[in-house]
Amino acid sequence: MSTSENKIVELAHYRPTDFVLERVDLTFEIDPTNTKVDARLIFHRRDGVDAAAPLVLDGDELTLSGLLLDQNEVPASQYTATAQSLTIRDLPESGPFEITVTTFINPQANSQLMGLYRTNGIYCTQCEAEGFRRITYFPDRPDVLAPYTITIIADKAANPLLLSNGNYLGGGNYDEGRHFAAWFDPHPKPSYLFALVAGDLGVVEDSFTTMSGRDVALKIYVEHGKEPRAAFAMDALKRSMKWDEERFGREYDLDIFMVVAVSDFNMGAMENKGLNVFNDKYVLADPDTATDQDYANIEAIIAHEYFHNWTGNRITCRDWFQLSLKEGLTVYRDHEFSADMRSRPVKRIAEVRHLKSEQFPEDAGPLAHPVRPTKYREINNFYTTTIYEKGSEVIRMIATLLGADDFKKGLDLYFERHDGDAATVEDFVKCFEDATGRDLSQFSLWYHQAGTPLVTASGAYDATTATFTLSLEQMVPATPGQPSKEPMHIPLSFALILADGTVATATGVTGGEVTGEVLHLTERNQTFTFTGIASRPVLSLNRSFSAPINLHLDQSPDDLAHIARHDPDLFARWQALTDLALPSLIQATRDLQDGKTVETPSALITALIETADDESLEPAFRAQVLTLPSEADIARELGRNNDPDAIHAGRTSVLAAIAEAGVSTFQSLFQTMRPDGAFSPDAQDAGKRALRNIALSYLTYAEQSPAPVAEAFSDADNMTDLLQALTLLAHRFPDSGETEGALGAFLTRFDANPLVIDKWFAVQATIPGAATLDRVNALMNDPHFTPGNPNRVRALVGSFAFSNPTGFNRADGAGYRFLASQILQIDPKNPQLAARLLTSMRSWRSLEPQRADHARSALLTIDRSATLSNDVRDIVERMLK
């Protein structure tokens, strides 16, 4: 286990290995508690390396059972083995040599879900980032690449299926009711992409013909009986393969592509070469059990893992500091895929919501770190929204800066130049510089400086000179280890919108570079002047969220309403309506704290209802607009001294005012906004359901009665509608008989489906208010709650801590104490899961003093534990610093 060794890994210390790995040949004899692993590794000493240098291999909780050098036993004097490493001395000065390492491991006892473990009777592996060293001693780092040959021997009846990476070589019967299968992966890969699966599973099969006419067998393995629920994932896979060929020219490179769904998994999914392993939550879907959000997630994650085949596998990372090289780029690719499959502006709105609610708080708190960090204590803790989402935004900015054609040139060069490499972020950026001649050195600060830049902007129109001046100032806040920052290169997409709704075209611009619709802000202070603007325009800035920044632009409600009505960019319209709503939500919070009554401005109410009624706008967009900034968004905007109860009450009163004024609109949307025909998970129908359901949510504020929602619950014929009704009942009328009835009916109906029961846990864990903690505690004893399963823990404990601001942040601190005790219980079994749950407290310093004190005490309780994992130790110490 990754115990707290307090060792910091530094980028500056990077150097290549002394020995080059040529080939890997692994044999597994599968056994529930005593699996034998023979690893035959062929190495040679790297040119120029000292002849005395020993070979040092990584291990984690391993015991060495056998060691051969070129098939001869190695004398004890020639090596040193500990649980964490194997050091072999006196190795040949030149030429290849073969090391055979034998270890025995216990998949059954592996509760960390790293390395080889057992889930629901299935053997599977998880090796990213450092799980392979829990299987055998190995140079377990991403810059060591080799082709792998794998032989798996296992009991045939229990494990008819034996899978690994690459192409199937063959198999047959073995002794004592066992059989074997052999696989060969010709593409050199690092150990983190190794995978093995053994067990008994059902399969859905299909095929794909690549752009050069090769046939690829596609197989999705799921538990027996669940095959029909894998159809959507298969369809998403085929669409991903086609899209990657058309959009990026990327073709698949093996004869077979497999996906295996397992029920115990720490993350969403894993891109092992040719053998993706998925959390079953992101594979299984049908209308009765999956919401529209589930379908969208499955499509995005299937695509994400598939896209890694090029961005991650063919071109991998030199070291883990480069993690965003594969993750940021692959997120960017899956975002673009979803945008092409669905509505681009609606997709962008959802992305930005996610970025602001997850990554912005990370970047503003004690866990802030650059997209390309320079040190870490536990790599598992760096699978963050900064690496993923901000990393993707940085690539989106490169595309915005360069334009589509030059972006493509740079990316094509990257694929060509680095295929087969373990590359760095610098290598990546250099491809765009070399392909276009553009200097991206200042832009690269996006990789190195943490913190969300704040841009303050103000515009002024001068009728006498027909000019519009835009003054901009940028400031990057201090973050841990980075007290002062350099000005960044910030691409700001903009438009000047005239009174008639058209976009002004300036005759000229001074003060800085403008390419097309993009302003390049590169100085700390910069003023752009646009000439030939005949009448006063309204400025629409950072359209499509071209840069991941906080923007302070003082705009009148009238100007915001103008953008909301006229900007051809739908994203900008949504942004304007959000900017209109936020001050009212903040004011409402303050008014309630001061004992005043809340007055919601009629301009906001009118703009929202007008949008809701506007049939020229797609329903999904209208639903996004009606979904006001969340309590967490308001808290972030307030920034400090937060009282979650006041925020909740303030937001509730604004929702009630909108609901009362718009009751007829919401009633009619609820009655008419239904998809026609049979259920389809497509974006259009999902949009209609979203609009209808948000209308129903407003009706609960206008009508104050559970009856219509209970009726919607009974009428629902798909999981999206059913879950929305259940959520509204539980959150708006927690103590009603209708809620009790619906929760009971839901449990009975989905009793045998853990993924659906997770929704039942999450709905209850997110009921606003102080009473929910008792409910969560009671649910921990429900027989459906299996504490070893990460999905269950995230559904109950995770939903409570991350998504229940009033319940978790109870004024008496009981929510924090509950979380601390959970962390201490989970940590010895699954440190990764424990560490991730703890990040729910990352914004504790922005709470009002009493809650902040309680939060600190809870963190100190964790900190005082003598037996913390390295994972939790790292997070808790950074949070307390």
Active-site residue numbers?
305
- Residues 120-159 contacting ligand PHE, CB under 6 A: 126, 128-129
Total number of residues that touch Zn ion (CB under 5 A): 2
Nearest to 704 by CA among 759, 765, 655: 655
- Residues 321-380 contacting Zn ion, CB under 5 A: 327, 330
In the bound state, the residue with its beta carbon closest to ligand PHE is 267
Q: Which does 267 bind (CB under 5 to 8 A by kind): ligand PHE, Zn ion, none?
A: ligand PHE
Work out whether 62 is an interface residue with ligand PHE (CB under 6 A). no
Tokens matching residue 260: 């295996």
Distance set, CA 637 to CA 582, 604, 629, 804 (Å)? 8, 18, 10, 18
Measured in whole angstroms, the distance separating CA 812 from the mean position of its chain's CA atoms is 32
The nearer residue to ligand PHE, 388 or 530, going by C-beta atoms, is: 388
Per CB under 6 A, which region of 142-150, 264-272, 367-375, 691-699 contacts ligand PHE?
264-272
Residue 354 Cβ, how far from Zn ion at the closest point, in Å? 15
The nearer residue to Zn ion, 117 or 306, going by C-beta atoms, is: 306
The nearer residue to Zn ion, 383 or 528, going by C-beta atoms, is: 383
Residue 321 Cβ, how far from ligand PHE at the closest point, in Å? 15
Residue 297 Cβ, how far from ligand PHE at the closest point, in Å? 13
- Rounded distance, CA 641 to CA 848, Å? 4
Q: Any bridge partners for residue 515, and if so which? A: 518
Q: Which does 126 bind (CB under 5 to 8 A by kind): ligand PHE, Zn ion, none?
A: ligand PHE
Nearest to 55 by CA among 28, 36, 74: 74
Contact 132, 202 (CB under 8 A): no
Work out whether 383 is an interface residue with ligand PHE (CB under 6 A). yes
The nearer residue to ligand PHE, 269 or 397, going by C-beta atoms, is: 269
Residue 563 Cβ, how far from ligand PHE at the closest point, in Å? 36
Tokens matching residue 633: 């968004």
Q: Which does 286 bind (CB under 5 to 8 A by kind): ligand PHE, Zn ion, none?
A: none
Work out whether 60 is an interface residue with ligand PHE (CB under 6 A). no
The nearer residue to Zn ion, 428 or 670, going by C-beta atoms, is: 428
- Residues 304-323 contacting ligand PHE, CB under 6 A: 304-305
Q: Could you give the 3-state DSSP secondary structure of residue 106?
A: coil
Q: Which does 718 bind (CB under 5 to 8 A by kind): ligand PHE, Zn ion, none?
A: none
- Rounded distance, CA 384 to CA 372, Å? 12
Nearest to 112 by CA among 871, 794, 874: 871
- Rounded distance, CA 527 to CA 510, Å? 8
Pick one of 105, 270, 285, 833: the residue that binds ligand PHE (CB under 6 A): 270
Q: Which does 379 bind (CB under 5 to 8 A by kind): ligand PHE, Zn ion, none?
A: none
The nearer residue to ligand PHE, 383 or 785, going by C-beta atoms, is: 383
Contact 118, 108 (CB under 8 A): yes
Q: Which does 185 bind (CB under 5 to 8 A by kind): ligand PHE, Zn ion, none?
A: none
Work out whether 269 is an interface residue with ligand PHE (CB under 6 A). yes
Per CB under 6 A, which region of 22-30, 263-271, 346-354, 463-471 contacts ligand PHE?
263-271
Residue 340 Cβ, how far from ligand PHE at the closest point, in Å? 20
* Identity at 830, one-letter amino acid code: N
Would you list the DSSP string of 597-642? PP---HHHHHHHHHHHH-TTS-HHHHHHHHSPPPHHHHHHHH-SSB
Residue 304 Cβ, how far from Zn ion at the closest point, in Å? 5
Measured in whole angstroms, the distance separating CA 100 from the mean position of its chain's CA atoms is 38
Tokens matching residue 829: 């079994």
35, containing H or E segment: strand 35-45
Residue 300 Cβ, how far from ligand PHE at the closest point, in Å? 11
Total number of residues that touch ligand PHE (CB under 6 A): 11
- Rounded distance, CA 223 to CA 260, Å? 9
The nearer residue to ligand PHE, 383 or 802, going by C-beta atoms, is: 383
Contact 611, 617 (CB under 8 A): yes
Residue 695 Cβ, how far from ligand PHE at the closest point, in Å? 36
184, containing H or E segment: strand 178-189
Work out whether 267 is an interface residue with ligand PHE (CB under 6 A). yes
Residue with tokens 């197989």: 219
If you count them, how many residues does the chain have?
Answer: 881
- Rounded distance, CA 763 to CA 728, Å? 9
Q: Could you give the 3-state DSSP secondary structure of residue 202?
A: strand
- Rounded distance, CA 854 to CA 865, Å? 18
Work out whether 327 is an interface residue with ligand PHE (CB under 6 A). yes
Contact 284, 230 (CB under 8 A): yes
Tokens matching residue 433: 């510089």
The nearer residue to ligand PHE, 273 or 854, going by C-beta atoms, is: 273
Give the number of other Cβ atoms within 10 Å of residue 481's Cβ: 13
Contact 488, 401 (CB under 8 A): no
- Residues 141-180 contacting Zn ion, CB under 5 A: none
The nearer residue to Zn ion, 262 or 855, going by C-beta atoms, is: 262
> What is the per-residue binding string for Zn ion in 283-322, x denoting contact by CB under 5 A?
----------------------------------------
* Identity at 496, one-letter amino acid code: L
Residue 872 Cβ, how far from ligand PHE at the closest point, in Å? 17
- Rounded distance, CA 325 to CA 430, Å? 13
Residue 266 Cβ, how far from ligand PHE at the closest point, in Å? 6
The nearer residue to Zn ion, 387 or 402, going by C-beta atoms, is: 387
List interacting residues with Zn ion (CB under 5 A): 327, 330
* Residues at the interface with ligand PHE (CB under 6 A): 126, 128-129, 267, 269-271, 304-305, 327, 383
